[in-house]
């Protein structure tokens, strides 16, 4: 029996993780859960899974959570960033699912890495903002890092055991990241400019949280995944291809020198990569539907249009710039996406704000987590000013 901490248990990945746990209660005991504002769902999860510890965002959330739980319960309740770090590095935690969305997940994810945990990384921002520091921590602590993003998990499954990009005998030529193209793949630039919140949130294949769904619509999600792939697999951006695959059946591929291509296929269901990470090196029941080949009409591929969707290019530029550029791009994007979701800016202004802030803030050496947080705060401040200016022009 392995003890599991889920950082972000009330989000889409967290809920899917608990779905897999339900099917494998003989293997996993939920040790700790964390939610942010959705205390009602967290309370239901606590009642069902009886964790030792649960963490919420703030004092008001903690008070609310206490009122929702039975009078007699054994779960210890805490709030705040320090408590997240504590459950991530707790000695009793064998596995940590890092599923907090955005830069907020960086510190607890890094704590789990430093503690040498089996770390299931769904929080791509940890590598986007501090890849060098994060991978150094994994190596130093001998943590087991398993990617949970469907694309990176697919790549992991297609690579040789003991993968080493510098080992020419393994014959790896490139990595291919697939993208659905989002809801606006076939839209004109004029249509995209006038896209509404509801249209942007209508992803054709995946069921995800609002922030990740908007990132998919702008293709920033694929840009962040490009950066994540570079750190995870020690490759350069020119070794990572991005291909739009609207059906979301092939989740990613690896090209080999002999002309072979290995692809991982499956239904678009996050329970598949989650179960792979939880069970690795074994395979366990995920509860996902089996892929029916006879129901597939076609599998199509196309190049991403970086004129209509410039965020992949911005991510490539940020990785090449190095240092604090990834942290700056990620912070600007989080501010811009939030502004769009709240009706302050139009859809195409997300990429505009991202590029503006990325070019506005000089790149600095990334030497500590404090530097990451400093440039994250700086980028957020400047992005918020840019959003206010754009909103003023619209009013």
- Report the 10 Å Cβ neighbour count for 293: 8
- Report the 10 Å Cβ neighbour count for 260: 10
Q: Is 222 annotated as a binding residue?
A: yes
Q: Is 260 annotated as a binding residue?
A: no
Q: Is 125 annotated as a binding residue?
A: yes
Q: Is 150 annotated as a binding residue?
A: yes
Q: Is 37 annotated as a binding residue?
A: yes
Q: Is 29 annotated as a binding residue?
A: no
Q: Is 387 annotated as a binding residue?
A: no
Is residue 179 within 8 Å of 306, Cβ to Cβ? Answer: no
Q: Is 73 annotated as a binding residue?
A: no
SS3 319: helix
Q: Is 275 annotated as a binding residue?
A: no
**For strand 95-98 and strand 76-79, is the pairing parallel, antiparallel, or unpaired?**
unpaired
**161 - beta bridge partners?**
none
End-to-end CA distance of the chain: 58
Q: Is 114 annotated as a binding residue?
A: no
* Residue the block writes with tokens 């404090």: 370
Q: Is 180 annotated as a binding residue?
A: yes
Q: Is 123 annotated as a binding residue?
A: yes
DSSP letter at 173? E
Taking phi over 0 as left and psi of -120 to 50 as alpha, with beta for the rest, 343 belongs to left
C-alpha span between 317 and 320 (Å, rounded): 5
Is residue 29 within 8 Å of 65, Cβ to Cβ? Answer: no
Q: Is 209 annotated as a binding residue?
A: yes
Is residue 335 within 8 Å of 327, Cβ to Cβ? Answer: no
List Cβ neighbours of 186 (8 Å cut-off, separation of 6 or more).
none
Q: Is 38 annotated as a binding residue?
A: yes
61 burial class (0-12, 13-18, 19+ CB within 10 angstroms)? buried
Strands, sheet with 240-244, edge to edge from the N-terminal-most edge strand: 240-244, 172-179, 250-256, 261-265
What are the tokens at 226? 């490009």
Annotated binding-site residues for Mn(2+) read 149, 151, 225
Annotated binding-site residues for NADPH read 10-13, 37-38, 123, 125, 209
Annotated binding-site residues read 10-13, 37-38, 123-125, 149-151, 180, 203, 209, 216, 221-222, 225
Annotated binding-site residues for 1-deoxy-D-xylulose 5-phosphate read 124, 150-151, 180, 203, 216, 221-222, 225
């Amino acid at each position: 029996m392995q003890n599991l901490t889920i950082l972000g248990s009330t989000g889409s990945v967290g809920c899917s993780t608990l779905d897999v746990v339900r099917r494998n209660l003989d293997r996993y005991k939920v040790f700790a859960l964390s939610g942010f504002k959705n205390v009602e769902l967290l309370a239901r999860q606590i009642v069902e899974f009886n964790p030792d510890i649960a963490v919420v965002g703030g004092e008001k959330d903690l008070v609310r959570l206490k009122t929702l739980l039975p009078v007699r319960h054994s779960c210890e309740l805490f709030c705040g960033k320090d408590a997240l770090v504590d459950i991530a590095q707790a000695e009793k935690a064998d596995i940590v699912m890092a599923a907090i969305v955005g830069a907020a997940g960086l510190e607890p994810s890094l704590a789990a890495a430093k503690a040498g945990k089996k770390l299931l990384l769904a929080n791509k921002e940890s590598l986007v903002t501090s890849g060098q520091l994060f991978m150094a921590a994994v190596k130093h602590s001998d943590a087991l890092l398993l990617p949970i993003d469907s694309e990176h998990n697919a790549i992991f499954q297609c690579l040789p055991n003991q993968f080493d990009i510098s080992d020419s005998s393994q014959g790896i030529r490139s990595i291919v990241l697939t993208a659905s193209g989002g809801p606006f793949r076939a839209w004109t630039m004029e249509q995209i400019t006038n896209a509404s919140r509801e249209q942007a949130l209508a992803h054709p294949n995946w069921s995800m949280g609002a922030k990740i769904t908007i990132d998919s619509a702008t293709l920033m999600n694929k840009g962040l995944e490009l950066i994540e792939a570079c750190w995870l697999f020690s490759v350069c951006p020119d070794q990572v291809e991005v291909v739009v695959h609207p059906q979301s059946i092939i989740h990613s591929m690896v090209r080999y020198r002999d002309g072979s291509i290995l692809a991982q296929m499956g239904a678009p269901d996050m329970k598949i990569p989650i179960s792979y990470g939880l069970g690795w090196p074994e395979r366990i029941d995920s509860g996902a539907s089996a892929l029916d080949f006879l129901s597939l009409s076609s599998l199509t591929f196309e190049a991403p249009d970086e004129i209509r969707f410039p965020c992949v290019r911005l991510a490539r530029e940020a990785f090449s710039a190095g240092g604090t550029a990834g942290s700056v791009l990620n912070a600007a994007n989080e501010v811009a996406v939030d502004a769009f979701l709240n009706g302050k800016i139009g859809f195409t202004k997300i990429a505009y704000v991202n590029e503006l802030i990325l070019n506005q803030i000089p790149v600095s050496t990334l030497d500590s987590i404090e530097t990451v947080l400093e440039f994250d705060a700086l980028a957020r401040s400047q992005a918020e000013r840019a959003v206010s200016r754009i909103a003023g022009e619209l009013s």
